[in-house]
Amino acid sequence: MSKKLQAIRGMHDILPDKTPLWQRLEKAMSTVCQQYGYSEIRMPLVESTDLFCRSIGEVTDIVEKEMYTFDDRNGDSLSLRPEGTASCVRAGLEHGLFYNQVQRLWYQGPMFRHERPQKGRYRQFHQIGIECFGMSGAEIEAEVILMSYRLWKNLGLASELILEINTLGTLEERTAYKDILVAYFKQHLEQLDEDSTRRLATNPLRILDSKNPAMQTLIESAPQLIDSLGEQSTQHFETLQGYLMDAGIRFKHNPRLVRGLDYYSHTVFEWTTTSLGAQGTVCAGGRYDGLIDQLGGKQTPAVGLAMGVERLVLLLEQREWPEATPLAYIVYQGEPARKEAIQLAERLRDQLPEEGIVLHCGSGSLKSQFKKADKVGAKFALILGEAEIEENKVSIKFLRDRQEQQQVPNNQIDAFLKNNS
Ligand code: ATP
Ligand code: MG
């Protein structure tokens, strides 16, 4: 027997019962982006592997073990994008978008990481991201945080999301801190798990991000980066906190928040929820002033964030949403009525562009057509039979209320539907 065809593990179909929530989120995001003057950018799903190694960092989880990398037929190493920032910066450099100008950009689309699939963690997942270029002040950091907060409010999620912020300081400050941190962990080598022992040599800051419960006491007593920061970095972080307080946003300073990607500096932040288990981070971002320079461009300040769409949809699923159903379903008997029905449907779609008008397709008794009308949730069945065609009328059956069937002249149906929708 041939093997049953199935989607790849960790890569999911988004079925019609779920797409309304996706659309709700996407629409809310595009509205917010328009409000703040952000333009959409669309990048390819595949890039040269080198781009991600040079941006995300060779010794990050993503590049070390999560990328879908393959050789193109001509031998070039390509990777499915694991995130959007690297591609966005590549696109900006390639098209001169950073040259003497600021940019406020957003994007959305699938990302790919070979992780262990579980609730809220998939191999193809979707992100909506924001990237801003050319602005070095804390106000742009506050702006992207305020944008995300506005999105949560518009989706009714604000009360269940918590904002955590931290600062990573400059590269120099972080390098100095790494030495202090490594010295600390070396005194407690026997308490480090395997991952952390490896990271001690490659990426010691990431040890702070360990989710291993056995490591938490050690991590909590570790020296903090904030104590290694200079005046300017401290001031920048305080300014941001001031802006957030002025805006009435509640946040927590989490000195152990480091993020998994190498390119961040100064501010980092995460929005988290407690209702999705271990996959609680729904949005994460920060400042990455070093990345453009690192990829061959002129030093350019940059701030961005990325939201996990699946995780946000899981939160939206926990609430009740009114279903979007068509207003009318057109049923008919006989060929002349079918012709008339096609025209009626088009006319109503012109006259009531916001409403759903579904045309029955195929044959079937009136009774079976009414059943279909009911199944799609239509409010009215519009009936075209021989008698209706002759009299130039349409019969209207109320599918949701106990009301007598009515007849309305053909040219008054739109008015009737408007008054009754
Ligand atoms: P996590 O700590 O959950 O692995 P991350 O630090 O790897 O997240 P980022 O690279 O910052 O995440 O991506 C931003 C957001 O994208 C995350 O906060 C999360 O909401 C979402 N995300 C990341 N990886 C996945 C995945 N494999 N499946 C679903 N969503 C994901
Ligand atoms: Mg991850």
CATH number at residue 409: 3.40.50.800
Domain-located, residue 9: no
Final residue of a domain: which of 317, 349, 364?
Answer: 317
> What confidence tens digit (pLDDT) does each residue in 121-135 have?
999 999 999 999 999
Q: What is the pLDDT of residue 1?
A: 64
Q: Are residues 309 and 336 located together in one domain of the fold?
A: no
Question: In this structure, which ligand is nearest to the CA of 113?
Answer: 1
Q: Are residues 255 and 274 located together in one domain of the fold?
A: yes
Q: Are residues 309 and 338 located together in one domain of the fold?
A: no
Q: Are residues 309 and 393 located together in one domain of the fold?
A: no
Taking the model in full, what pTM does it have? 0.91
The pLDDT-based confidence of 256 (bands split at 50, 70, 90) is: confident
Ligand 1 atom closest to residue 209's alpha carbon, by position in its atom list? 2
In whole angstroms, give the CA distance from residue 38 to residue 131.
Answer: 9
CATH number at residue 283: 3.30.930.10
Q: Are residues 148 and 291 located together in one domain of the fold?
A: yes
Q: Are residues 342 and 280 located together in one domain of the fold?
A: no
Q: What is the pLDDT of residue 20?
A: 94
Q: Are residues 152 and 293 located together in one domain of the fold?
A: yes
Mean pLDDT computed over 305-311 = 98
Mean pLDDT computed over 380-398 = 95
> Is 131 assigned a ligand-binding role in the annotation?
yes
User: Please, what is the average pLDDT of the chain?
Assistant: 94
Q: Has residue 259 got a pLDDT over 90? A: no
Q: Are residues 300 and 158 located together in one domain of the fold?
A: yes
Q: What is the pLDDT of residue 261?
A: 66
The count of structural domains within the chain is: 2
> Is 263 assigned a ligand-binding role in the annotation?
yes
Q: Are residues 333 and 309 located together in one domain of the fold?
A: no
Its domain, for residue 244, covers 19-169+229-317
Q: What is the pLDDT of residue 57?
A: 84
Q: What is the pLDDT of residue 195?
A: 87
Q: What is the pLDDT of residue 3?
A: 85
Q: What is the pLDDT of residue 246?
A: 97
Q: Are residues 313 and 394 located together in one domain of the fold?
A: no
Q: Rounded to the nearest whole angstrom, what is the distance from the C-alpha of residue 175 to the centroid of ligand 2?
A: 23
Kindly state if the Cβ of 281 falls inside 6 Å of ligand 1: yes
The pLDDT-based confidence of 199 (bands split at 50, 70, 90) is: confident
The pLDDT-based confidence of 48 (bands split at 50, 70, 90) is: very high
Q: Has residue 310 got a pLDDT over 90? A: yes
Question: In this structure, which ligand is nearest to the CA of 262?
Answer: 1
Q: Are residues 357 and 242 located together in one domain of the fold?
A: no
Q: Are residues 332 and 312 located together in one domain of the fold?
A: no
Pocket test for ligand 1, best of 281, 282, 283, 310 (most atoms within 8 A of CB): 281
Ligand 1 atom closest to residue 82's alpha carbon, by position in its atom list? 10
Residue nearest to atom 21 of ligand 1 (CA): 308
Final residue of a domain: which of 252, 282, 317?
Answer: 317
Question: In this structure, which ligand is nearest to the CA of 114?
Answer: 1
Domain-located, residue 224: no
The pLDDT-based confidence of 260 (bands split at 50, 70, 90) is: low
Q: Has residue 58 got a pLDDT over 90? A: no
Final residue of a domain: which of 291, 317, 343?
Answer: 317
